[in-house]
Chains A and B, each alone.
Chain A
């Protein structure tokens, strides 16, 4: 037996030392489990992706805030829905949290954020998926991370990271000292401040600075910061409605139905109500460029999932001069958009709580 164990002495000693070091770090520093992740990159001479940093800040701040509503989705809702406005119309004690981020979180990412919030907040009752019709579900945003979101950009979908870092079983491998990765990498990469400020923001970006000032105060919301581009397309909306073959049912269905069904199933699993909200658009409803097809897919989904709420139609056309970019309203119209969501949420609550 000894001759078998002997070659592993070094491994046993190394693991024992590792446990000892980590036990000391855990006992002395008591690091927040949400800090013990690989979610942020901390790569050498490389800024964090702003969207990742925003998502990390939101998760770290709000993961255990016990909201009644959690909103997840793309940047249309991130800039569009101020929870304060919504909560004014909700019954007392109900709270609304805006966890929306960005299109490159992807539908898998919005899903994982909701799953994370629901798994940590058993009192969660409403899950709001808030998206713009121009980025409806497709393979790149659902089947796995890493795909480029838009051709010609290096903006990659990163929604799987929310699951891997905050929900998956591999979290058990996240050592307590992992919480100090930024300090350690900074120390070596920038020679303890010689090449970079040690306490600099995660992202050097004025929009991120504004986000940092606002998001705690407004429960995840921050006013729109995009420069107004003008030339917002007002023609017929163009909506991709790709299909996927499902090996389990041996049938093909649209990503819209497949993805929304997964959300509906998650909401049921957590005894919550799924509310799917579409952002208004400057483009208009038509038949030739996917909007009719998308509406038909949604209608099929609604028929088979009557418990899911759709307070607004897929396409609700608002004047183009209200928009800064096709997916965002100008910051001065955020109240109008917030009110729209608030009324809808209040109506749903009134109807559902009466039952």
Chain B
């Protein structure tokens, strides 16, 4: 079920909320939430529940076994079983298609025919696998005691607001909240939660989906093999995807947090204005925070973190980011994306560009550091989104843009000579040259306008949040009530008029 559907907003959520409020003080509350969550998850296809229950029940059982034993070898064996089973199941669903397709390609020249195996990927499997794994690992580390009540445990793994696309919650943060009887959320909390849901819907349907529409259109321009993109369209593609993936994923997290608050549950923040980061370390404390902290705690630190010298630190960073890339999906470009981010982390560790800029240029330097790092992140997004066939048309189109700009100045060189001679006003010729550029690069100009149109609300809301070190939706409580009313009205009308009508799933459903 999608958050951005009438059936979720006007039927499922109110009904489940009403049921929860009725049963809140009884021992059936979590059983009810569990059933609601399972329905939410499996309404598209019941078989999604099979890998879900395999993962969840295995870890519940393993957790009990680890806790019940003081034999370190046995505890370790149980943990290994859990990790291997979880990652094995995840890998089967996620990587079989990719690997068998590659193997069949390699075997083809040898005259061996092999049909690639195509397995449907159950949504959310990457999220609940990591979540469930953290439960057993924390018990193994003696940082968390397992819960004996399987209903409480399953309602933690399946809690519908965050089940499909995170945040990836740790058992120690979420399970205690779910296992106790929670007080009713205050009116102020409910009001803020509703604003989070509304803002998330705006981010998703108006911003992310329209950026997505631009990307689809540009991809259609590259549909024929060898088709070249007009100059600059590769840049539009890159920026549009940077904002699509951010707005899409942040929207899901914001809605998830808002919905959870209606049930008296606090989910962790998953995004914090990431495009205002000045360096990769900061970026990963602001982007998909629940995944990056998971990778830090369960992979980077166990590998040794930064405790064993520069070379080992570099190795650990690269391994962590490569596996982070692989977590996102099966494909060489996801690995390259992870590798690229690993390189950025290493690069900034040894050459802290941002610190240099800030030291010598002050606030302007910080602005520059943000701009530079945002563009580096954008380079990574090209690997993330483009297919191998689309990569070079995108790069070529970006490379052709300066030529198109210079070309238009060359075409109008006579007028510019007149400007130098003082016969024509500078701005008149500049405007004329600009119009010439728009005429010669019509598609690029139209798309640039569209990009700007949807980027402005994304930048402005993020900037307002960044100044207060929070997200825009958190500012609701600091606004005066007339301003809140205006914000609500703008968001509603924004959705009514500008939400993209073609249904679009949240991007991270695919991971």
Residues of A within 8 A of B (CB): 3-11, 13-14, 17-18, 38, 40-46, 146, 170, 173, 175, 177-178, 181, 184-185, 188-191, 195
Q: Mark B85-127, 1 if CB is under 8 A from A, else 0.
A: 0000000000000000000000000000000000000000000
1/0 per position for B457-497, CB-CB distance to A under 8 A? Answer: 00000000000000000000001011011111100110011
What count of chain B residues pass the 8 Å CB interface test? 37
B449 with A14: CB separation less than 8 A: no
In the complex, which of the residues B187, B485, B500 contacts A43, with contact meaning CB atoms closer than 8 Å?
A: B500
**Distance A191 CA – B449 CA, assembled complex (angstroms):** 9
Known contacts A13-B481, A45-B217, A45-B450; A8 and B489 CB within 8 A of each other = no
Asked if residues A43 and B210 are in contact (CB atoms below 8 Å), the reply is yes
Within 8 A of A (CB), among B176-197: 186-188, 190-191, 194
Q: Are A41 and B481 in contact (CB under 8 A)?
A: no
Q: Which residues from chain B contact A170 at a C-beta distance below 8 Å?
A: 6, 10
Chain B residues within an 8 Å CB radius of A17: 485, 489
Interface residues of B (CB under 8 A from A): 6, 10, 186-188, 190-191, 194, 210, 213-214, 217, 445-447, 449-450, 453-454, 479, 481-482, 484-489, 492-493, 496-498, 500-503
Task: Tell me whether B502 and A43 are in contact (CB under 8 A).
Answer: yes
Q: Which residue of B lies closest to A183 (CB)?
A: B497
Enumerate chain B residues within 8 angstroms of A181, measured Cβ to Cβ: 496-497
How far apart are B322's CB and chain A's nearest CB, in angstroms? 33
Also in contact, A8 and B492, with CB within 8 A (given A13-B482, A43-B213, A170-B6): no
Q: Is B498 in contact with A185, judged by CB distance below 8 angstroms?
A: yes
A8 to chain B, nearest CB (A): 6
CB neighbours of A8 from chain B (8 A)? 187, 191
Chain A interface helix/strand/loop/mixed: helix
Q: How far is the CA of A11 from the CA of B450 in the complex (A)?
A: 31
The CA of A11 and the CA of B481, in the complex, are separated in Å by 9
User: Known: A13-B482, A177-B496, A184-B497. Is A146-B503 also a contact (CB below 8 A)?
Assistant: yes
A4 to B191 CA separation, bound complex (whole angstroms): 10
Contact in complex: A10, B187 (CB < 8 Å): no
Closest CB-CB distance, B342 to chain A, in whole Å? 35
Q: CB-nearest residue of chain A relative to B488? A: A14
Query: Do residues B481 and A175 form an inter-chain contact, with CB atoms below 8 A?
Result: no
A173 to B495, CA, bound (A): 12
Partner of A7, one of B6, B187, B449: B187
- List residues of chain B with CB within 8 A of the CB of A44: 210, 213-214, 450, 453-454
B447 to chain A, nearest CB (A): 6
Say yes or no: B213 contacts A46, CB within 8 Å. Answer: yes
B501 contacts A7, C-beta separation under 8 Å: no
- Contact with B489, one of A14, A45, A175, A189 (Cβ below 8 angstroms): A14
Judging by beta carbons under 8 Å apart, are B500 and A7 in contact? no
Interchain residue pairs with CB less than 8 A apart (14): A7-B187, A10-B482, A10-B488, A13-B485, A14-B486, A14-B488, A17-B485, A41-B500, A43-B213, A170-B6, A181-B496, A188-B453, A195-B445, A195-B446
